[in-house]
Amino acid sequence: MCGIAGFTHTGSSYLPERIYQAVSSIGHRGPDQQGIWQNEVVSLGATRLKVIDRSAGSQPMSSGDNNVTLIFNGEIYNHVELRDQLIGLGHRFTTACDTEVVLRAFIEWDTACIEKLRGMFALAVWQETRQRLVLARDRMGIKPLYYARRGRDIYFGSEMKTIFCHPEVSRNIDLNALDTYLGLNYVPGAHTLAEGVLKLLPGHFLTWHDGEISSHRYWQANLRDHGALPTLEDSTAQLDQLLTQSVKEHLVADVPVGVWLSGGIDSSTVLHYASQHASKQLKTFSITFNGREFDETRYVREIATRYATDHHELDLGPASVTPESITELAYYSDEPNADAGAVPVWHLSRMSARDVTVALSGEGADELFGGYITYLADTYADAPALSLALSAGSPSAPQTGCAPPTRRSASTTNCSASSMEHCSTNATRTPFGMEPSPATSAVNSCSRTTTPTCSKSSQPFRLAETSAASWHSIRLTTCLTTCSPKSIA
C-alpha cells in the first residue's frame, strides 16, 4: 500500500517542514519512495510501495506544464484500457504505471475521470490554473482518506496521523461518535472518534477552492428492481466470469504476490482462480490455532496441498499476543475497533511480508454474498411462519434440521470480488438502543459438513431446513441482480 498527505495554507503562514513530518508519519505505508511537492497555497506528499513499474512512477507526479500534480494511493485495474484510450486522444506516456494513467485521465476529463477508474484508490490532485484541490475515494471505500477543516484550510491524509502532526488541529473526542462506537463496535459513515476529523465517503470526491469545499457523489450502488431473477446457470456463469476477471487483475504486479488462506470458501475460491492465472507456484499464508476448537489447519492444509502451493503457517498462541504487539497494532490502526480478527491478521501480515509484497484474500465476500449467520437469521426473521412462531412463543415450531453451514468471518485483506484494505467485521449488529431480534439468538451452530447438522440448543425452535445449494443460489442471484460489475473493484 501507499500513503498520501497534504494541506492548504492560505489562512496563515506555514512551515515548509510540516509536510515532511506528515509523510514521515505514514512512512510504513510506502517504504520504497517518498516525495514532496508544495507551493504558496498547498503542500502535497506521498509515500509509495512500488507494485507496478518499480523503476518509474515516483510521486508526487506532475504534468509537463506543472499545471496538474497528483498524489495517489491504490491500484487501477483497467489502467491498460484507459491508457490505450488516452493514447488515441493524443496523450504520450513516459511510464508503465497506473499513476500516470490517473494523471493524464484527469488532464483529459477533469473530475469526470473518477467514475472511469475501476479499482481501489484515494487520491489528491492540485490544479494550478484553477487553484483547486480535488480529493477522491473509490466506490467501496477500500482505501482510507481522512480530512479536517480549520478556518479556510483543509488537512488530509491516508491516516489521521497526517492530520495530527499539525498542532493547530484540536484533539477532542467526538462524544456522539463514541456513543455510536460503544453501541455498534465501529463508527459508521463519515465520522471518526476525533472531533472534526472526517472520512471522505466512498464513491465521493471533494473539491477545495479559495477556502470553500464541496462534496460530490459520483457513484452509488444500483439497487433498483431488475425484473425477473436470472437462472442459476446464468448466475453461475456470470459469477465465474467476474471472479476470473477480478482475481486475474489483482495478480498483475511487478513484485511477488501471495494468497492468504483461511481454509474457508472465500479464500479457497480466490486461490482456485489465482492458480489458473499465476505464472509460477503461488505462496500461501495462514494463521493456525493448534489445540483450539476453532482451529482450521486441516482445511488450510487440504486446500494448499490440492493447489500445490508454497505454504507457510504461523501458530498464534497466547505467547504471540504480547502487550507490545497490541500496542503496535493500535498505533497503526489509528481508530479503535472491536474486531478480534485484527490481531491474527496483524501477525499474518508480518509473516507474509517476508516473502511477498501483495497478498490476495477473501475479504469482502461475506458482505457481498450475505455470508454472516446474522444475515440468514434476518432472512428467517422476516418469514411469516417464523414470525408467527416467535410471537406465539410456541415450542412446536419446526424442529427439522437447521440452516446450511456458512463460513465464519475470517479477517483477511485485499482481494476477492470486493477488496478491503483495512480489516473490518461488518456483520449485521443490533442498532444502538434497540433490542436484539429474537431470531438472531435462535440460530443453531452447524458443523462444517455438506449435510447440515445441528448442535443442541436451548431455544424452543430451530430454523426450517434449507439445503446449502438452494441457499447459495438465493445469495448468488440476489447479488448478481443488485450489484453491477462496476461495483466489483
CB neighbour burial string for 31-43, b if at least 16 within 10 angstroms, e if fewer: eeebbbbbeebbb
Report helix angle 342-352 to 323-333, nearest 10: 90
Structure letter (DSSP) for residue 280: S
Q: Are 266 and 416 in contact (CB under 8 A)?
A: yes
Does the pLDDT of residue 171 top 90, yes or no? yes
Looking from the CA of 16 toward its CB, the CA atoms found within 13 Å total: 5
Structure confidence at residue 391 as a pLDDT band (50, 70, 90): low
HSE-up (13 A, CA, CB side) for residue 266: 29
| Greatest mean pLDDT among 5-9, 290-294, 436-440 | 5-9
**Contacts made by residues 294-303, CB under 8 angstroms, sequence distance 24+:** 296/262, 296/263, 296/264, 297/263, 298/263, 299/263, 299/264, 299/268, 299/448, 300/261, 300/262, 300/263, 302/263, 303/261, 303/263, 303/268, 303/271
Query: In angstroms, what CA-CA distances link 430 with 5, 340, 370, 403, 410?
Result: 36, 18, 16, 21, 20
Instruction: List domains and CATH numbers for the chain.
Output: 3-217 (3.60.20.10), 225-489 (3.40.50)
pLDDT digit string, tens, across residues 55-71: 888 999 999 999 999 99
Res 386: pLDDT: 52
Q: Treating both helix axes as pointing N-terminal to C-terminal, what angle do 79-88 and 98-109 enclose, rounded to 10 degrees?
A: 50
Q: What is the DSSP string of 363-380?
A: TTHHHHHT-SHHHHHHHH
Helix, strand or coil for residue 41? coil
Q: What is the DSSP letter of 454?
A: B
Strands 146-150 and 42-48: unpaired
Q: How confident is the model at residue 385, as a pLDDT?
A: 53
Q: Identify which of 40, 37, 93, 96 has the alpha carbon closest to the alpha carbon of residue 70.
A: 37
**At 462, is the pLDDT very low, low, confident or very high (cuts 50, 70, 90)?**
very low
* 206 touches 215 (CB < 8 A): yes
The closest alpha carbon to 177, from 202, 147, 199, belongs to 199
Phi/psi of residue 44, nearest 5 degrees? -125, 145
Write down the residue that cell numbers 507490545 correspond to.
324
Eight-state DSSP code of residue 140: T
pLDDT for position 113: 98
Q: DSSP readout, 99-121? A: HHHHHHHHHHHGGGGGGG--EEE
- Look at residue 333 in the predicted model and tell me its pLDDT: 87
Q: What is the three-class DSSP state of 29? A: helix
Look at residue 63 in the predicted model and tell me its pLDDT: 96
Specify the 3-state DSSP secondary structure of 330.
helix
Q: Residue 227's pLDDT is what?
A: 76
113 catalytic per annotation:
no
Strand 283-288 and strand 310-315: pairing? Answer: parallel
The model carries a pTM of: 0.77
Top pLDDT among 196 and 339 is at 196
Torsion over CA of 379, 385, 391 and 395, rounded to 10 degrees? -110
Residue 9 has pLDDT above 80, yes or no: yes
- Whether the CB-CB separation of 247 and 270 falls below 8 Å is answered with yes
pLDDT at residue 383, rounded to an integer? 65
Mean confidence (pLDDT) of the chain:
80
How confident is the model at residue 221, as a pLDDT? 85
The residue-averaged pLDDT of 306-331 equals 90
Taking residues 254-271, what's their average pLDDT?
92
Where does 253-339 have alpha helices with state H? 265-277, 297-306, 323-333
User: What integer pLDDT is reported at residue 392 of this predicted model?
Assistant: 53
Q: What is the pLDDT of residues 397-444, one digit of tens each?
A: 333 333 333 333 333 333 333 333 333 333 333 333 333 333 333 322
pLDDT reported for residue 66? 94
SS3 call for 302:
helix
Does residue 54 carry a pLDDT above 50?
yes
The HSE-up count of residue 33 (CA atoms within 13 Å, CB side) is 18
pLDDT over 90 at 12, yes or no? no
Share of the chain above pLDDT 90, in %: 58
What average pLDDT score do residues 169-182 get? 94
Q: Give the span between the Cα atoms of 429 and 226, in whole angstroms.
A: 28
Q: What are phi and psi of 68, to 5 degrees?
A: -120, 130
Question: Which residue carries 497534504 as its cell?
Answer: 6
